A and B are shown apart, each in its own frame.
Chain A
Amino acid sequence: DADVTQTPRNRITKTGKRIMLECSQTKGHDRMYWYRQDPGLGLRLIYYSFDVKDINKGEISDGYSVSRQAQAKFSLSLESAIPNQTALYFCATSDGETSYNEQFFGPGTRLTVL
């Protein structure tokens, strides 16, 4: 079974709709992250959380919100989706224990906003 799972894997929605992307992990890691990937721009950090009570904005948090419901769950919401939020979204985790802070990625959610 995958250690980091994301649901849904694909989603098509319309402008103005509220969308939630979910991430679950069985790795027991405290740290979780949401990134978006756009062609030619690589991965950009949206939000990150170092434990259940800790939420931090990344470089492109506008238009997004997150909820850390438990150590294992970190969801990303688009309150009112717009077409330029069409992208591939990745959740990642890390344990914060190793000095090199390896991140483990989910398979991604492809979101299309029409």
Chain B
Amino acid sequence: GEDVEQSLFLSVREGDSSVINCTYTDSSSTYLYWYKQEPGAGLQLLTYIFSNMDMKQDQRLTVLLNKKDKHLSLRIADTQTGDSAIYFCAELYSSASKIIFGSGTRLSIRP
């Protein structure tokens, strides 16, 4: 079945690294994504990774993909107050060309 799972909450101290984890079910997914939702807004694509990659880095963001364990993670270095948001893990469900979203992880930043 189609399922993407992630923890609901994460709290980190400003300046520390945040790591948000996700597991997915479709082993044939070609793309996996992280979307960010800021308060009162829709989702925006933060980053994505193609399934033949293990890692992707983009400035403060590092995405790690473990296909064997169907595990995806997002690391945000030097977390800032502006990083407070809900982060959604998602996979491109290959059989229907649609994206399946996880429940979202709410990241809060402590001073």
Contact = CB atoms under 8 A, between A and B. Distances in A.
Interface of A: 4, 33, 35, 40-45, 48, 50, 58-59, 90, 92, 99-103, 105-108
Contacts of B102: 42
Contacts of A42: 4, 88, 101-104
Contacts of B98: 33, 45, 48, 58
B8 interface: yes
B88 A105 contact: no
Tell me if B's interface is mostly helix, strand, loop or mixed.
strand
B42 A108 contact: yes
Contacts of B4: 42
A43 B42 contact: no
Interface residues of B, number: 24
Interface in B40-91: 40-45, 48, 50, 88
B35 to A, nearest CB: 8
Nearest to A41: B103
A43 B31 contact: no
15 contacts: A33-B98, A40-B8, A40-B103, A41-B103, A43-B43, A43-B88, A43-B104, A102-B45, A102-B48, A103-B43, A103-B45, A105-B42, A107-B41, A107-B42, A108-B42
